Amino acid sequence: MKKSIMALSATLLLGGAVSAQKVVFEEYTLDNGLHVILQNDPSAPVVITSVMYHVGAKNENPERTGFAHFFEHLLFEGTENIKRGEWFKIVTGNGGTNNANTTEDRTYYYEVFPSNNLELGLWMEAERMLHPVINQIGVDTQNEVVKEEKRLRYDNSPYGQLIPEVKKKMFKNHPYRWTTIGSMDHLDAAKLDEFKEFNNKFYVPNNAVLVVAGDFNKNQAKEWIQKYFGVIKKGATIDRETFTEEPITQTIKSKFEDPNIQIPMVVASYRTPSMKTRDARVLDFISTILSDGKSSRLYKKIVDDKKMALQIGAFSYSQEDYGTYILYGLPQAPSTAENILAEIDSEIVKLQTELISEKELKKLQNKYDNQYVNSNSTIEGIAENLATFHLLYKDVNLINTEIEMYHTITPEEIRAVAKKYLNPNQRLVLDYVPTDKSNN
């Protein structure tokens, strides 16, 4: 069913897509500052309880990086009323699933239960906020978990240092210069009181949004929300520092040797504006044109037609303050990194000088309609979108209206934004190469 809906969505006009997918919600704020969003959908007998906190890697002390991601793990350790090691047992024992994730800007926790367990989900998230047990055994245990994750995802993974290296070079002042996993030395050096202070500062109701989505009785949900969350004290006002980066005005050249790879990679990275801006949406279109899938301009030209690269692609890091657009290619001999970069540049110049066709624009609109329908096709997707649009965009109704913004982007805008952000003097060029074993 889900696949057929997705396939159908690609042929829908904007009005049809929006009306079919309109998300109806109610929002209000408790006296302690906790923002609440309720989205009722009785189509399936499941309910999600989720809490998003406005704390991520950018809120860390530069000498204590990795704290926000560490708390993603630590706050599953237990509470005053949930014994250590019991959290996941309670969830699975009641037919549920749960997870959490962290970015540079926020931390997100959720549980999905059969609808008759809504009260349990609310109680557990309130327990996490009100009564977390932060002790040395929990810190030591999760420290080992995080170290293993870092070894797996970064240290021992092919191209695992790509994002850390790009971040270090692209940002000089902003905390985006480090990864969410942070430094193991920083975590090792941290005292227990530092973890407690971090919790008391950020994991408070006035720094969070609670979303309940799925099949539930709204009046009953409100009673339980007041019962479990209303008693939690408001935290101190959080002073948020603003970090500004000077524009990149000349190419940053860098090289990194990775012992885990055999094939070199060339990387071109551009700093882009906040995800809240219109330009960021236009850059989404540009990224799709250049590098999204095998029909994209770069893949078709460099991989399929000229066979100059084994792979070509991109990462788009959309963030609250700045974004990063990262293009990469794996050269295929006899082609070199310089050849690949020249081909990438020629396609960018085309976007800067020529208007895309109406057919190409319609294809983009259809693709984004498809993504829009897909992102709101599950209660998990709806809950996270509602939380994100409130917390980071300050406009919950973007869940319904953002797609309209994409439909108003013009070929002229695409050309102008490409000219504004994607020039050779505005980027990092990173040669990501195998370690030279002759030097060992």
> What is the predicted pLDDT for the residue at 440?
55
**Residue 32 main-chain phi, psi, to 5 deg:** -85, 5
pLDDT of residue 315: 80
Length of the chain: 440
Per-residue pLDDT of the chain (440 residues; tens, 9 = 90+): 333 333 333 333 333 344 447 999 999 999 999 999 999 999 999 999 999 999 999 999 999 999 999 999 999 999 999 999 999 999 999 999 999 999 999 999 999 999 999 999 999 999 999 999 999 999 999 999 999 999 999 999 999 999 999 999 999 999 999 999 999 999 999 999 999 999 999 999 999 999 999 999 999 999 999 999 999 999 999 999 999 999 999 999 999 999 999 999 999 999 999 999 999 999 999 999 999 988 899 999 999 999 999 999 988 888 999 999 999 999 999 999 999 999 999 999 999 999 999 999 999 999 999 999 999 999 999 999 999 999 999 999 999 999 999 999 999 999 999 999 999 999 999 999 999 876 55
Classified as helix, coil or strand, 81 is: coil
In single-letter form, the type of residue at position 276 comes to K
Could you tell me if 320 and 243 are in contact, meaning their C-beta atoms sit under 8 angstroms apart? no
Query: Which of 349, 338, 284, 336 is CA-nearest to residue 314?
Result: 284
Tokens of 1: 């069913």
C-alpha angle 432-437-438 in degrees, rounded to nearest 5: 120
Can you give the pLDDT at residue 16? Answer: 39
Q: Which helix (H) or strand (E) holds 29?
A: strand 26-29
Residue 140 burial by Cβ neighbours in a 10 Å radius (0-12, 13-18, 19+): exposed
Question: In sequence order, what E strands does 55-201 have?
Answer: 97-102, 107-114
Q: Per the structure block, which two tokens stand in for 431?
A: 């040669």
Cis status of the peptide bond prior to 62, with omega within 30 of 0: no
Structure tokens at 101: 């994730």
pTM of the model: 0.93
Sign of the C-alpha dihedral computed for residues 401, 407, 413 and 419 taken in this order: positive
